[in-house]
Amino acid sequence: MAAPSEATVENPQPQIEYTLYGAFAAARAGLPAMREAGAGTLLFTTGGGSVDSNPMMGNVNAAGAALRNCEINLDKELAGSGVHAAHVAINVWIGEGGPEGFPTATPEQIAPCTGICTNTETAPRPSSTADGPSSGGFAAPLRTP
- In tens, the pLDDT along 28-48 reads 999 999 999 999 999 999 988
Helix (H, G, I), strand (E, B) or coil at 60: helix
104 bridge partner residues: 93
Torsion angle defined by CA atoms of residues 22, 27, 32 and 33, in that order, rounded to the nearest 10 degrees: 100
Q: What is the pTM of this model?
A: 0.72
Spatial distance between the Cα atoms of 25 and 81, rounded to a whole number of angstroms: 21
So what's the architecture of 4-141 in CATH? 3-Layer(aba) Sandwich (3.40)
**Mean per-residue pLDDT of the chain:** 79
Spatial distance between the Cα atoms of 53 and 61, rounded to a whole number of angstroms: 6
Q: For residue 43, give the nearest of 25, 20, 26 by alpha carbon.
A: 26
Spatial distance between the Cα atoms of 100 and 94, rounded to a whole number of angstroms: 13
Query: Worst-scoring range by mean pLDDT, 68-77, 90-99, 127-136?
Result: 127-136
Q: Name the H helices within 1-145.
A: 13-15, 22-37, 58-78, 107-118
> What is the domain partition of the chain in residue ranges?
4-141
Residues 16-36, mean pLDDT to the nearest whole number = 93
